[in-house]
Amino acid sequence: MLKTVLLIALVAISIILTVIILMQEGKSAGLGGTIEGVADTYWGKIKGHSMEGRLKKATRIMILVFFVLSMLLSMSFLD
């Protein structure tokens, strides 16, 4: 039963992770990728509060959850 729940959660996380990654802009997209020293600008300082910053944070969290679920599913005590 637990293995089935974890497997369903892993599939759901995989789909969500794919959508989040596809929603992100490329590194060369926009002015932030072409201007050197963007971290010193106002935009560079508030970028974490933008939609792109939230997507990056969500990606990190989902990747961590994905790996934890994958490890739990690969352990033999769930069989």
Which domain does 68 fall in, by range?
Answer: 2-20+33-78
Q: How far apart are CA 29 and CA 7, in angstroms?
A: 35
Within-domain flag for 40 = yes
Domain assignment present for 8: yes
Does 6 fall in a domain? yes
Taking only the tens place, the pLDDT of each residue in 25-75 is 776 655 555 555 555 556 555 665 788 888 899 999 999 999 999 998 888
In three-state secondary structure terms, 32 is coil
Q: What is the pLDDT of residue 3?
A: 86
Does a structural domain hold residue 69? yes
More confident residue, 48 or 6: 6
26 within domain boundaries: no
